[in-house]
Amino acid sequence: MFSFDSKLHVLWCQVQVMSRMAFGVLMIFAIAYLLIMRSTTVSKTMPVTFILMLLGVACGYCGKVCIDTLGGTGSLWLLYWEILCMVHFLSIVFTPTLFKILHGPVAASQQTKQNIILPYWFRRFWFYATLLVFLPLFCGLSPFAGVSQWKDHFLLKVSIFDRLE
């Protein structure tokens, strides 16, 4: 049988867990709100510094704490977050070089045939797919479970959906 003390202990444990989860979710919403408010201002002073300092460092640390609070691996999330911020930072700093890599050199005549290893459409596809799909997906899913666990989870959800029809 359970004693009153053990039930109180379980209740206290659940209150602690729920309060930490609520704090993590509240931090995520607060940071999103601050970023939206910052992006709606008229003056765009030092966008590279803003991206590097606020997103890379401040939001990275807060995000790591939130992920740890929600039960994930915060250091893995921080790694993907730093990669994502670094790709954005390098894209802003080296825009002409990135343009040449993704679109090719600007030539006066488009009739010259160049020997290229990877076609430009293929480079653009993988760059945008990595930046817009893979890094955010890994950043959001991998701290909480491995690839095989997510595969099993989604296959289970799809099989339940198939049984409903």
Residue 147 dihedral angles phi and psi, to the nearest 5° = -65, -45
Per-residue pLDDT tens listing for the chain (165 residues): 456 678 888 888 888 888 877 877 777 777 777 777 766 665 555 566 666 666 677 788 888 888 888 888 888 988 888 888 888 878 888 888 888 888 877 664 455 566 678 888 888 899 999 888 988 888 888 888 888 998 898 888 888 766 655
Q: What is the DSSP letter of 40?
A: T
2 CB-side CA count, 13 A: 8
Distance CA 3, CA 88 (A): 56
Distance CA 66, CA 70 (A): 6
pTM of the model: 0.60
The enclosing H or E element of 30 equals helix 4-39
What is the per-residue pLDDT for 36? 73
Distance CA 137, CA 141 (A): 6
Closest to 139 measured CA to CA, from 86, 82, 100, 94: 82
What is the per-residue pLDDT for 108? 45
What is the per-residue pLDDT for 164? 58
Contact 69, 20 (CB under 8 A): yes
What is the per-residue pLDDT for 45? 58
Domain residue ranges of the chain, discontinuous segments joined by +: 46-105+116-164
**How long, in residues, is the chain?**
165
Amino acid at 131: L
